[in-house]
A and B are shown apart, each in its own frame.
Chain A
Amino acid sequence: MNETTGETAHKGPAAEKAATAGPLRVLVVQPMYGGSLPIGRYCADALRDLGHTVETFEAPAFHGAFNALKGLRVTADRLEHLETGFLQVVSQAILAKVETFEPDLVLCLAQAPMSRQALRRLRRDGVATAMWFVEDFRVFTYWRAFAPFYDFFAVIQREPLLDELAAIGVENAIYLPLAALPAFHRPMELSPVERHRYGADVAFLGAGYPNRRVAFRRLTHLDFRIWGTEWDGDAVLARHVQMNGGRVSPEDAVKIYNATRINLNLHSSVQAQTLVTGGDFVNPRTFELASIGAFQLVDRRGLMDELFTDDELATFGDMDELVALIERFLADPDERAAFAARGQARVLRDHTYQQRMTTLLDFIAARRPGWPPRRQDAGFPADMPEGLRAELGGLLQRLGLPHDAAFGDVIARLRQQTGELDALETSLLFLDEWRKQYAAKG
């Protein structure tokens, strides 16, 4: 990866492991709500897949408390103060997590409830922080208020955003496009019932942004399904909207993509004067559909050429072209399959979340001297019986850790386990506790 430009080179699978020495501890801080949530989960899975020890701060777990504030019936001023206090508690919870888990990196997704005060504290304490800002900086303008507080700031757009970030003191910004998680975004064999339930000639899955609402009116003569939220109030499209416009889970989304002959992928816009806006960033749907091996028609974007070639994605520049392409590709399943295969190959080669996380970690390692800091590790006892060593090897394999994993990393992974522990797991944790209690006292 070019550290200066953030360009992702074409690397093969061998490069998927992080260039950083040894597994890292990464705390992924999820947003409370919104489109970044699944991205955060993909990042966590990818990091685990790379052999890192990952904890996720699941901010959505705090929904109940937030919603309870809404029902208080106090003054508006008091409500806003309470919301501020609530966010402070959540930030304090994140700091408590950092204190216990001792991560090498705190990775936040856009909208993560990481307060500026908490970020200042982490910077002071020398804990590396990064945000992957997976939003359109022109629409989501709040980045100006928090970007400088992160040590590293990854974005899905290039200029002028990178210049604007530099102007406000963000020295370590990197262009990092979105991706797919192949283990999740994968082809599936669907039953006839599932194909009937999820399939269509043409489908779109996503939110009812203004440009989409107007654009899709030209498609109502087709076997056309619309999935997702915020499509209510549109009499023309109503009969195409599935599940009463309810939320579609990521799992169902994969089935829908698999079952649909032509997946539409029209990037969103907050205005409806220009339906195909020709903006810059490429949305996650593009990568996910390709990873699944599903055929898509996607609108051309400014940053698409460096991510896909013309024969890897079928693209359109305006609605007339889209309509013509739908007709063409509905009549030619072989060409659909060929495009989908090429797109899939490209994603699997260059656009996985594992690769993005590797890129990000390499960038941090290159820009932050002495990172990650060496951990003092008490190590495993030197005189472990052979049988126990073999058992330990099996445990490491189960946990997805390398054979030479540090004692501390094994303990950190074990502490993530839920439910009952087996004898070896218990023994190792017992040893760790004993060391804390007695060895620390010298």
Chain B
Amino acid sequence: MLGRTGYPALPHGSEWATVAPLPEPSMQQYLVIQLARFGDIVQTRRLVLTLARRGAVHLCVDRSLASLARLVHPEVVVHEVVAHGAGEGGGATMLAVNARVFETLRQSGFDEVYNLNHSGLNLVMSALFPSAVVRGHRLVDGQPVRDRWVRMAFRWTTWRRLAPLNLVDFWASLAAAPVPPGEVNPVAVRGGGGIGVVLAGRASRRSLPPDVLAACLRAVFEGMGGARVVLFGSQAERPLARQFMRMLPGNVVERTEDLVGRTDWTGLVDALRGLDTVLTPDTGTMHLAARFGVPVQAFFLSSAWCHETGPYGLGHKVWQAECECLPCLETAPCTIGVRCLDAFRDTAFLRLLAGRPGDMFPRGMMGMVSTLDAVGATWLTVFGEDVHAPRRVALRELVGEYLGLFPGEGLTDVSLAELLYAEQDWMLPPPGQVMPC
């Protein structure tokens, strides 16, 4: 049986077999299959860096994101498949393009394949390789199987308020001994280039409406003494950009450059670099800014939860809405009028953004500052009450102990151990393995 790294696994259910190097590390070949979106490609960074230290890394992405992948991960070989949107030629194009790429991948003889996404596309691709070398999601003789680490994460996502790990760190921990968290992204520092504003994210409820966002921008603009402003977004957000601009006072409009729908990926990265701050909801552009050391001020509300997908690295802030119902489900309708948005309208919040905090902190919100620990990225609460923090920290320590990062001490909440570990984890062999009959 094979373990987490494709080398022989250990008995007693352990998955942490980092076998000593066999040939020279540069001869090792790794494939990462990342067929999700813009932000997910950026959040694969820690895993890519980890594998790049040991050998050659190949990254398989959707064709539309290939140039982004090359920008974000310059050290990898990018393979493009048609996964989202067949484009011209429809299914025939998809078949033709993908068959060639799949043959190339199949012939490459990867030592390990990291299959990161829970999708039928990913599962099918995993069948190109011996199941024993695939980590994450794979097919074993036609049976979809999730690795034990993935199963554990699925469990803790049923308790999102206790989310112990950033997605970046979760994916990285599919490999043994990930690179230190501090080596993933540069420390974010102001570049003197002004304020970036990202208009809207994937789900509208996670984004600030244009009037609220405009008020936030005005506050930051005043606080920075009239800095340059750059707007970011996709072609689809161009109408929103026009609407947004109409809500800004003249002095802000004069200093605003509208790049919404006007840049390619290279242009986007160039425009982000050197900014002083980026105001954004939970978006791929947010992760890109963090990737290149641009300070982020992110607005997290509705289904966005900074402990899961906050910007990675030092030097970022998140204004995390706090209501009993958060984080919610994107697909579930909100029956309380998106109450979590109210905090972002609060004048106390706008004074904070302007650098003129008053006596009161905004209600219904936590001010979070990014930090790093042995496990990865986490958040310090500067204001607001994070009532679930003690249990989240304890769960994170259990995860750290499981990952072998440090010995657990004084972890007395047995209910958290019961949340993290299911009986299969110690009673049955690792997923995908059969027992000798």
Interchain CB contact (< 8 A) of A80 among B14, B151, B407, B414: B151
Interchain CB contact (< 8 A) of B424 among A67, A72, A84, A169: A84
User: Could you tell me the distance between the alpha carbons of A270 and B424 in the complex, rounded to whole angstroms?
Assistant: 22
Query: What distance in Å separates the Cβ of A146 from its nearest Cβ neighbour in chain B?
Result: 8
Interchain CB contact (< 8 A) of B407 among A33, A36, A160, A210: A160
B421 at the interface (CB under 8 A from A): yes
Stretch at the interface among B16-24, B355-363, B370-378: B16-24
Whether the pair B427, A32 counts as a contact (CB closer than 8 A) is yes
B108-152 vs A, CB cutoff 8 Å, 1 = contact: the mask equals: 000000000000000000000000000001001111111000010
Query: What distance in Å separates the Cβ of B176 from its nearest Cβ neighbour in chain A?
Result: 9
Whether the pair A144, B427 counts as a contact (CB closer than 8 A) is no
B417 at the interface (CB under 8 A from A): yes
Whether the pair B435, A168 counts as a contact (CB closer than 8 A) is no
User: Could you tell me the distance between the alpha carbons of A32 and B430 in the complex, rounded to whole angstroms?
Assistant: 12
A35 at the interface (CB under 8 A from B): yes
Give the residues in chain B near A115, CB-CB below 8 Å: 423
User: Could you tell me the distance between the alpha carbons of A146 and B422 in the complex, rounded to whole angstroms?
Assistant: 10
Interchain CB contact (< 8 A) of B143 among A79, A112, A233, A271: A79
Whether the pair A70, B143 counts as a contact (CB closer than 8 A) is yes
Main secondary structure of the interface of B (DSSP, over half): loop
Interchain CB contact (< 8 A) of A232 among B8, B141, B420: B8
A92 at the interface (CB under 8 A from B): no
Give the residues in chain A near B137, CB-CB below 8 Å: 76
Give the residues in chain A near B1, CB-CB below 8 Å: 230
User: Could you tell me the distance between the alpha carbons of A116 and B217 in the complex, rounded to whole angstroms?
Assistant: 54
Query: What distance in Å separates the Cβ of A182 from its nearest Cβ neighbour in chain B?
Result: 25
Whether the pair B434, A70 counts as a contact (CB closer than 8 A) is yes
Stretch at the interface among A14-22, A58-66, A340-348: A58-66
A sample of 16 more A-B contacts (CB under 8 A), given A141-B402, A270-B18, is A32-B428, A63-B436, A66-B435, A71-B143, A76-B144, A76-B146, A79-B145, A80-B146, A87-B428, A140-B14, A142-B421, A168-B414, A208-B8, A230-B1, A270-B17, A271-B18
Whether the pair A67, B434 counts as a contact (CB closer than 8 A) is yes
A34 at the interface (CB under 8 A from B): yes
A235 at the interface (CB under 8 A from B): yes
Give the residues in chain A near B429, CB-CB below 8 Å: 32-33
The interface size bin for chain A is: 35 or more
A209 at the interface (CB under 8 A from B): yes
Whether the pair B145, A76 counts as a contact (CB closer than 8 A) is yes
Whether the pair B12, A34 counts as a contact (CB closer than 8 A) is yes
Chain A, range 107-142, C-beta contacts under 8 Å to B: 110-113, 115-116, 135, 138-142
- Given contacts A87-B424, A116-B423, A160-B409, is CB(A207)–CB(B143) below 8 Å? no
Nearest to A76 among chain B residues (CB) is B144
Query: What distance in Å separates the Cβ of A62 from its nearest Cβ neighbour in chain B?
Result: 9
Whether the pair A235, B143 counts as a contact (CB closer than 8 A) is no
Interchain CB contact (< 8 A) of A34 among B11, B17, B18, B141: B11
Whether the pair B427, A31 counts as a contact (CB closer than 8 A) is yes
Nearest to A59 among chain B residues (CB) is B427
User: Could you tell me the distance between the alpha carbons of A413 and B424 in the complex, rounded to whole angstroms?
Assistant: 33
B236 at the interface (CB under 8 A from A): no
B425 at the interface (CB under 8 A from A): yes
- Given contacts A73-B143, A160-B407, is CB(A272)–CB(B12) below 8 Å? no
Give the residues in chain A near B17, CB-CB below 8 Å: 209-210, 270
B158 at the interface (CB under 8 A from A): no
Give the residues in chain B near A74, CB-CB below 8 Å: 143-144
Whether the pair A233, B7 counts as a contact (CB closer than 8 A) is yes
A213 at the interface (CB under 8 A from B): yes
Chain B, range 1-45, C-beta contacts under 8 Å to A: 1, 7-14, 16-20, 22
Query: What distance in Å separates the Cβ of A76 from its nearest Cβ neighbour in chain B?
Result: 4
Whether the pair B18, A139 counts as a contact (CB closer than 8 A) is no
B335 at the interface (CB under 8 A from A): no
A83 at the interface (CB under 8 A from B): yes
Whether the pair A75, B408 counts as a contact (CB closer than 8 A) is no
B401 at the interface (CB under 8 A from A): yes
B331 at the interface (CB under 8 A from A): no
Give the residues in chain A near B22, CB-CB below 8 Å: 233-235
B239 at the interface (CB under 8 A from A): no
Query: What distance in Å separates the Cβ of A69 from its nearest Cβ neighbour in chain B?
Result: 9
